[in-house]
Amino acid sequence: PHHLTDYLTYEQIVQFLNKQHNRSPSSKNFTSLFSIGNTYENRSIWTIRIGKPSARRNILMDCGIHAREFISPATCLYMIDKLIDEVNNRKVSILSIFNIYIIPLLNPDGYEYAQTERRMWRKNRSPNNNNNNNYYYYNTNSNCMGVDLNRNFGYHWMENGASTNPCSETYAGPKPDSELETQSLQKFIKKSSQHWDAYLTFHSYGQYWIYPWGFALYMPDDYIELKNKAQIGSEALKRVNGTLYKIGSAANLLYESAGGSDDWAKGVGKIKYVYTVELRPSDDMNDAHAHFAFMLPSTFIEPVGQETYVGVKEFLRSLITSR
């Protein structure tokens, strides 16, 4: 058990993952630690698998797609710590059924930049000074940096709520799936010829447990099932500290925006249970913590981690009987 009292740097996160990996007996193969690819600035995108050898089903979670949402990677690290406690434990657990793959920081370049240069940075750090011959057949060369990874995924790309302007916070990139981070996640989902039961991607903020679609207001055919399981997760989460989450489709609850990792995971990756979880604080201005927005103090890592872990675990339990 580890006490996460601060938001870690990329280097510290890598150290943390190695410590966690070494904490479970290597002979038992309960964890593996590997990179799914590198970023533009050549950082590895580390991934940890946690599960017992008997586990036959697979779950994918990621954090830190958006640089400034510091509570997201912190929550993934918190859950990794708790899951490794659990896998080392002899008691029967969800980890004898599921291998849980966690990518705690999908956008390390953006995260480092937000930590050191510009706290409110959102995108990755790829340059846009050579965007000729792009999807639009016009020039988007610019000195502005970065692509919004959550607008870059190639499913109904650019249909709604995304920008062709490299200076925009929601710049979708010169073409669908143009970014290394996007490609790494997609390759990992596809190459592991294994079946994925669920994909959860953690963002902040607003306290929403949302399901596809984001690209338009339509609902997936199976949205009732997605909604029911989101309810199970969010109710369990609420029982811990009383934190209230709203449930609905991304486009209906937030706004229409195409190119999200969630829409791709469901639409192209064919994963059934796909969610974007927008962590604390609430975006309701009557809420005492709403003003923190992306700058949630690190004292919240513990309560947010604790309640999110319980919510996710209950959600996963509810999957055991379905399928």
Footprint on this chain of ligand 0X9 (rule: CB under 6 A): 66, 69, 150, 203, 214, 250, 254, 257, 260, 262-263, 276, 278
- Contacting range for Zn ion; rule: CB under 5 A; set: 65-73, 163-171, 257-265, 279-287: 65-73
Minimum gap (Å) between residue 111 Cβ and Zn ion: 12
Grouping H, G, I as helix, E, B as strand and the rest as coil, residue 116 is helix
**Cβ-based neighbours of 259, under 8 Å, separated by 6 or more:** 148, 150, 151, 152, 153, 154, 155, 156, 157, 158, 162, 172, 176, 215
Q: Which of 145/277 has CB closer to Zn ion?
A: 277
Q: Are 259 and 150 in contact (CB under 8 A)?
A: yes
Q: For residue 278, indicate whether it is catalytic.
A: yes
Contacts with Zn ion by CB under 5 A: the residue count is 2
Query: What is the rounded distance in angstroms from the CA atom of residue 88 to the CA atom of residue 170?
Result: 42
Catalytic one of 69, 112, 278, 314: 278
Q: Which residue is nearest to ligand 0X9 (CB)?
A: 214
Q: Which of 73/154 has CB closer to Zn ion?
A: 73
H-run or E-run covering 189: helix 180-191
| Phi, psi dihedrals of residue 200, rounded to the nearest 5° | -120, 130
- Contacting range for Zn ion; rule: CB under 5 A; set: 17-25, 180-188, 199-207, 244-252: 199-207
Q: Which of 100/250 has CB closer to ligand 0X9?
A: 250
H-run or E-run covering 53: none
Minimum gap (Å) between residue 160 Cβ and ligand 0X9: 9
Q: Are 40 and 180 in contact (CB under 8 A)?
A: yes
Q: Are 259 and 176 in contact (CB under 8 A)?
A: yes
Query: Per CB under 5 A, does 203 bind Zn ion?
Result: yes
Q: Which of 68/156 has CB closer to Zn ion?
A: 68
* Residues in contact with Zn ion by the rule CB under 5 A: 66, 203
Active site residues per annotation: 278
